[in-house]
Amino acid sequence: EPEVTQTPSHQVTQMGQEVILRCVPISNHLYFYWYRQILGQKVEFLVSFYNNEISEKSEIFDDQFSVERPDGSNFTLKIRSTKLEDSAMYFCASTGVGGFNTGELFFGEGSRLTVL
Amino acid sequence: SQKIEQNSEALNIQEGKTATLTCNYTNYSPAYLQWYRQDPGRGPVFLLLIRENEKEKRKERLKVTFDTTLKQSLFHITASQPADSATYLCAISDNTDKLIFGTGTRLQVFP
């Protein structure tokens, strides 16, 4: 069964360092998303990406965040200068034609980011 | 303000009983509502989607209702099993390109 894969599964970094989280969405999907979940809290939307551009972003997704689909298969989330409050589980998700409103959103297993 | 509310207290039930979880929303007019399951340390897994013109949707032991007047969805698991123990998330779209999740309700099924 196709799945969304994410790397790394866990990353520890020092405050102020840049972090890149990587995702390989399901191959024929067109819509890509990043969500995050701080420990014990709800899953929060960060950004959606379609047709090689951001289609929607939340207030959390400030200038320190960026997304890219560099090679048609990987989908990356970059945090330029990490803060302590960026510590969370980051989930990548994708869905096919029609977007998530017509079907399910497939999530990866997450990348846990710990900022010290 | 916009809210999606799920019971933050854990729901504890005995194996074989029906679990009923509630999702209430305010200041949204979603065309679709979805339910996901999340196990500790794992990503959410899609369970069911229900549209605003559908009152009820079933899939095996799962049933979802959607009342746009009450602004509420109910999620039922019949003949519950210990393997059903997880956190269940309600999610809606605000007609933009984002799916918004509730806080989730943890279900614990005891043998």
Structurally, chain B folds into a number of domains equal to 1
Burial of residue B69, with CB atoms counted within 10 A of its CB: 0-12 exposed, 13-18 middle, 19 or more buried: exposed
The mean pLDDT of chain B is 93
Q: pLDDT digits over A53-79, tens only? A: 999 999 999 999 999 998 878 999 999
pLDDT mean over B61-67: 97
pLDDT of residue A103: 67
Angle in degrees, CA A95, B42, B21, rounded to 5: 85
pLDDT of residue B6: 95
pLDDT of residue A79: 97
DSSP classification of residue A54 = E
- Asked if residue B107 lies in contact with residue B84, where contact means CB atoms within 8 angstroms, the answer is yes
Residues in chain A with CB shorter than 8 Å from the CB of B34 are: 100, 104-105
Q: Which domain holds residue B71?
A: 27-80
pLDDT of residue B29: 85
Residue B74 within any structural domain of the chain: yes
Rounded to the nearest angstrom, the minimum Cα separation between B100 and chain A is 7
Of B31, B96, B99, the CB nearest to A105: B99
Residue B57 within any structural domain of the chain: yes
Asked if A100 lies within 8 A of B104 by C-beta distance, the reply is no
What ranges do the domains of chain A cover?
5-115
Residue B93 within any structural domain of the chain: no
Residue B20 within any structural domain of the chain: no
Residues of chain A with pLDDT under 50: none
Q: Identify the architecture of domain A5-115 in CATH.
A: Sandwich (2.60)
Q: pLDDT digits over B8-33, tens only? A: 889 999 999 999 999 999 988 888 89
CATH at B44: 2.60.40.10
